[in-house]
Chain A
Amino acid sequence: MNTSKLVMAAAALSISGTVLAGGTHGDGNSAVSGEPGKASDAARTITVEMYDNYYDPESIEVKPGETVRFVVENKGNLVHEFNIGTPAMHEGHQKEMMMMVEHGVIQGGKLNHDMMEMDMGDGQSMKHDDPNSVLLEPGQSEEVIWTFTDKSNIEFACNVPGHYQAGMYGEVNFN
C-alpha cells in the first residue's frame, strides 16, 4: 500500500518535472528516469518492436540530457507495455498492472477501455496515461518522447504480470 502510494507520488512528481533525489533505499541510484520531452527537442527516433514476450532492440544507448522519440510497435499477440523507469519503479508499477488484470482491463490480447475509465475512488482510474509509458494492444503503435536527464539505472520494461519476470525488459545505457 505504502509503496504503491509512494510510486504514484513519484510518478506524479516526475510528470511535473520536479527533480527527485534518491527515492530508493540504499542502492545509491537516483530514482529519476528522466522527464517527458518535447517533440521539437528529439533529435533521434528509436523504433522499439514488442513481441511475445521481448523487445527488439533489447538495449539502447543514450546521452545524459538527450531527448529521444520512441516509436513503439506491438507486433505480438498479447497486450504489452513500454515503460521507462528504474527497476524499483517497475516493481511498484507491476502491482498496479496486476490490479488491471484482476479487474479485466488487460485481457490477454485485448484492453477493456471502458474499464480503464472506471472510477476507482480517490480520484483514481486505470487509465494508464503516464507519459513515461504506453500500453498497446497487438498491432498498435504509439510514440513516447522522453528526455533522459542524468545517468541512472534505467530499464524499459513491460509490467504486464509475468512479462518483466520472463525477461521483457531492455537496458538504457548512458554514454
Chain B
Amino acid sequence: MKRSLLAGLLTLLMPALVLAGEYDLTVDRVKIDTGDFVKEGIGYNGASPGPVMRFKEGENVRINVTNNLDEMTSIHWHGLILPFDQDGVPGISFPGIKPGETFTYEFPIQQAGTYWFHSHSGFQEPDGAYGAIVIEPKGREPFRYDEEYVVQLTDKHPHSGDRIMRNLKMMPDYYNREQQTVGEFFSDASKNGLMNTIQDRMAWGDMRMMKADVEDLQGFTGLINGKGPEQNWTGIFEPGERIRLRFINSSAMTYFDVRIPGLEMTVVQADGNNVQPVNVDEFRIGVAETYDVIVRPKDEQAYTIFAESMGRSGYARATLAPEEGMEAAVPQMREPARLTMADMSGMSGMDHGDMAGMDHGNMDMSGSEGVSDMDQSNMEGMDDSGMAGMDHGSMAMGQDGSGDPFYAKGSGLMPMAASSCPTPT
C-alpha cells in the first residue's frame, strides 16, 4: 500500500524531473576574417562559427531560431536522433524558416557525445552557418580528462558557395592546382616504363578521370574554431593534464589529416559513439565526421595541432600551450597524393555484369563530394569498355577476404603499382 503510494508520488513528480533547456539562436550576416582574407558570411548569434551548444542527455530542449537574413534558412542538427519534423531539412522535414521569423525546435536529447549543427539551406553552411554540439552523458564518461576543447575545422574559401558550385559545374577541375604535367609523364615513364605509363594515362583517360582529382576545391584557408593558421587558435593546458579534444570537420569538401607533433592521441569517440580507445599519431577526418581524442602533454611547451588537407592544398593550424602566445613549429605539408586504381575500386560487391552502358559523363562528380566519396549507386550501369585498363584483379571486391590482411575488408584500399598489374583483358 505504502509502496504504491510512493510510486504514484514519483510518477507525479517525474515530469518535473525531466530537464528542460531553452536556447536562443539568431541567424545573422557576419564578417569572417581568416587572416588571409575577409568575407561576408553567415553565422549564429553574431559569429561564425556559432556558439557551442551544450546539452545534457535526457534533457528536452527548446531552441528558438530567429532568421535575421533576407532569405530562407534552417538548422540541421547533425547526428542527433530526433523526430523527423525537427530535423531541419527544408522541403522534407519542414518548409524552412522565413526571413524575420522565429522557429522553435523542440526535441528530447537521447544520446551523448560530440556533434554539430549547420544550415541546410543553399550554401549557408560553407558560407559560415555552423556550430558545435556537446552533449554530456546521463552517467559518467567512460574516460577521464581535466580539460576539454572543441576543435572545429572548416575550409573557408574566398568564393561564395554559389560561385564555387557554378564554377565546378562548368569545369570539375576549375580549382585544381595540382594537375598532372608533361614533366610528370616523363618522370613516370622513366620510373615505370614508357608503355606502362602510356597505358596508365589511357586507362585514366578512358574513365574520364584524373589522378589529380583528390580535392574539388583548392585555394581555401583552413580554419580551427574560426581562426586561420596565422590567427592561431590556442587551447591552454597545465603540463600533465589529460585534454579531451573534440574534433569536428565542418568543411564543405575537405578531408583533413590531423596530427599533433610530439603528442600521441588516443581516439575515444567517433561520431559521438564511444569506441575502444586507439592510440594514433595521425587520423583522417572526413566531411561532417567527429572524433574525440585524449592527449596528455607532459612538458611545459607548445604543441601544434596540424590539419593538412587530403590533397595537401591547404591546412588548418592551432596550438596547445601552457600559456597564451606560445607557439611550436608548424610543419611543412607533405607531397600531394595522386589517385590510384585502388581508389577507383572502392565498390565492394560490385557486379561486373551490371556495368554495361555506363556513361561517365553522367556521374555527378561535381557535387560537394570528392571521388573518394563516390557512391556505388553512381556506378550503376557502368560501361565495361570504359573500364578497360582498370585492373580488376587489384580491386578489393570483397569476394575473397584473402587479400592483404593489412587492409580492412571492404575498405577499398589495396594499392598496387601500375607496373605490376596484370595486362587488362
Where the two chains meet, the residues of A that have a C-beta atom closer than 8 Å to any C-beta of B are: 51-54, 58, 78, 108, 161-163, 165-169
**Most A CB atoms within 10 A — which of B140, B267, B274, B276?**
B276
What are 6 A-B contacts with C-beta separation under 8 Å? Answer: A51-B142, A54-B143, A54-B144, A165-B242, A167-B143, A168-B144
Q: Which residue of the partner chain, among A54, A78, A108, A162, contacts B140 with CB atoms under 8 Å?
A: A54
Task: Please tell me if the beta carbons of A162 and B279 are within 8 angstroms of each other in the complex.
Answer: yes
Task: Please tell me if the beta carbons of A162 and B266 are within 8 angstroms of each other in the complex.
Answer: yes
Task: Please tell me if the beta carbons of B145 and A167 are within 8 angstroms of each other in the complex.
Answer: yes
Task: Please tell me if the beta carbons of A162 and B145 are within 8 angstroms of each other in the complex.
Answer: no
CA distance A167 to B142 in the complex (A): 8
CA distance A51 to B277 in the complex (A): 13
Q: Which residue of the partner chain, among B140, B142, B294, contacts A165 with CB atoms under 8 Å?
A: B294
Which of chain A's residues have a CB closer than 8 A to the CB of B278? 161-162
Which of chain B's residues have a CB closer than 8 A to the CB of A165? 242, 264, 266, 277, 279, 294, 296
Which of chain B's residues have a CB closer than 8 A to the CB of A108? 276
Task: Please tell me if the beta carbons of A78 and B276 are within 8 angstroms of each other in the complex.
Answer: yes
CA distance A54 to B277 in the complex (A): 12
> How many Cβ-Cβ contacts under 8 Å join chain A to chain B?
46
The secondary-structure label for the interface of chain A is loop
CA distance A167 to B244 in the complex (A): 11
Task: Judge if B413 is at the interface, Cβ distance under 8 Å.
Answer: no
Which of chain B's residues have a CB closer than 8 A to the CB of A51? 142
A151 CB to closest chain B CB (Å) equals 19
Known pairs A108-B276, A161-B278, A165-B279; list 13 more (Cβ under 8 Å).
A53-B142, A162-B266, A162-B276, A163-B277, A165-B242, A166-B142, A166-B266, A166-B268, A166-B294, A167-B143, A167-B242, A168-B143, A169-B144
B325 CB to closest chain A CB (Å) equals 28
CA distance A168 to B142 in the complex (A): 9
CA distance A162 to B264 in the complex (A): 10
Which of chain B's residues have a CB closer than 8 A to the CB of A52? 142, 274, 276
Which of chain A's residues have a CB closer than 8 A to the CB of B144? 54, 58, 166-169
